[in-house]
Amino acid sequence: MLVAAATPTGAAVLVTAVFLASAVEMVEALTIVLAVGVTRGWRSALEGAAAALAALGALVAAFGPALVHWVPLSVLRLIVGGLLLVFGLQWLRKAVLRAAGLKAKHDEDAIFAEQVAELSAGRPPSGRDATAFAVAFKGVFLEGLEVVVIVLTLGTTSHRLGLATLAAVAAVSVVAVAGLVVHRQLSGVPENAMKMGVGLMLVSFGTFWSAEGVHATWPGSDLAIPALVAFYGFMAWLLVAALRNHAAPRSDGLASTGGPARG
């Protein structure tokens, strides 16, 4: 089998994974940009966000083709698969712990309020605001780096870098438009459910490609990917149920609520 995402099924899973991951990260970035815009003015906030997006785009353009041309496919799949596995397992672990009530849910409202309080401390200058630019740039760039890693790894390994980039751009556009429409942080977005979905897909792709990287043979070829998503989804459901059952008899406040959770 040469290209995992060559079939409609593989391409659909690829687009869904990149779109959801990008949307989740951009919701977090949007929260920061909105906080900067509200407190320090929109010009520098939007300039910082635009500069960060340009830098992220340059990273994809610089490293994407280089990875495809210079790294052998089996090595690329092993390394990329391993990266996706580690990354995806981190997402899935957090989502399972949050679903089971053992970790505080990501609270965009609290993060927004925290950012506004920090940024309100200094009086914004009348012209360009270096602080606003820097905070917006850093927020978008750091959140976007995870998206870049996902786009590069999923895109290059499946030889669908263009499709993965388009999915990420679509997610960024949707979140940006939603932000303009509601003009506030997107606290209503079911972020934990989306992170669970992304984690499942990253772990599935990671398993598939890392195993191919060491020359394992998948029964059913590409069809193994949705089967892996279903298997890991079942495992996550089992873990959440087991943790809830384990925590239910205790009423000692296991759910951590010590402030807004990040990431």
Partner 1 sequence: MADPGPGRRGPLVVRWVGAFGRFWWDFLIGDTPELFAGVVVVLGILALLCLRPGLRTAAALAAPVLVAGVLTASVHRAARRRGP
251 binds partner 1 (CB under 8 A): no
183 binds partner 1 (CB under 8 A): no
| 94: its two tokens | 């957090």
Centroid of chain to Cα 63: 19
What is the rounded CA–CA span in Å between residue 164 and residue 150? 9
Stretch that binds partner 1, among 23-31, 76-84, 111-119, 172-180 (CB under 8 A): 76-84
Position of tokens 């949007």? 30
Position of tokens 């990260």? 25
Closest CA to 21 of 207, 149, 137, 204: 149
Given the complex with partner 1, which of 45 and 201 has the nearer CB atom?
A: 201
Given the complex with partner 1, which of 104 and 170 has the nearer CB atom?
A: 104
Q: Which of 231, 233, 260, 261 binds partner 1 (CB under 8 A)?
A: 231
82 binds partner 1 (CB under 8 A): yes
Minimum CB separation of residue 10 from partner 1 in Å reads 16
102 binds partner 1 (CB under 8 A): yes
Minimum CB separation of residue 131 from partner 1 in Å reads 18
| 131: its two tokens | 């602080």
Label residues 239-253 b or e (16+ Cβ within 10 Å = b). bbeebeeeeeeeeee
235 binds partner 1 (CB under 8 A): yes
Position of tokens 């897909």? 201
What is the rounded CA–CA span in Å between residue 236 and residue 244? 12
257 binds partner 1 (CB under 8 A): no
| 127: its two tokens | 């012209």
Chain residues that interact with partner 1, rule: CB under 8 A: 78, 82-83, 85-87, 89-90, 92-93, 96-97, 100, 102-103, 145, 149, 203, 206-207, 210-211, 214-219, 224, 228, 231-232, 235-236, 239, 243, 246-247, 250, 252, 254, 256
